[in-house]
Amino acid sequence: MPFELGLALGAKYYGGPKKRRNSALIMVEREHTLAAYLSDLGGNDPQAHGGDPANVIRIVTRYLHRTPDRRLLPGAQFTIDRFARFRERLPDLARASHRQPEELHPFHDYRAYRVLVDEYLRKSR
């Protein structure tokens, strides 16, 4: 089990009353693959996203519902459309930061990618 998920579930089941109200969203690329490598997640139903960013957005939007300051999140399609516009602009944003678009992977180059996401969001408001 990934370390962070183990901590979150341990806090939920063994922590104080506030921690017991926590929840965790568990996603996998394909259904029915979790048991092969995470045997101790009984009672938690992972959501399969199929490797599709739009499905990830839908799953997370349904799970969270609200922003940290309790405002209702926009619908998934709003965020999917906005993400599509960001991806269209990403090559220009990359070049402006003296990078090639292929040098900006959302996981492997997370910090640089995040800077460009923040910049895009600031400019698109």
What is the domain extent for residue 9? 3-48
CA distance 74 to 112: 26
In a domain? residue 34? yes
In a domain? residue 85? yes
In a domain? residue 55? no
User: φ, ψ for residue 47 (rounded to 5)?
Assistant: -100, 125
pTM score = 0.65
In a domain? residue 56? no
Q: 76 with 62: CB under 8 angstroms?
A: yes
Q: Fill in the amino acid letter for 52.
A: D
For each of the chain's 125 residues, which pLDDT tens digit applies? 566 777 777 887 788 888 777 877 777 777 766 565 555 555 566 778 888 999 999 999 988 888 878 899 999 999 999 999 999 999 999 999 999 988 888 888 889 999 999 999 998 87
CA distance 15 to 23: 13
User: Total structural domains in the chain?
Assistant: 2
In a domain? residue 43? yes
In a domain? residue 64? no
First to last CA, the chain: 39
Three-state helix/strand/coil letters over 27-43: EECCCCCHHHCCCCCCC
In a domain? residue 65? no
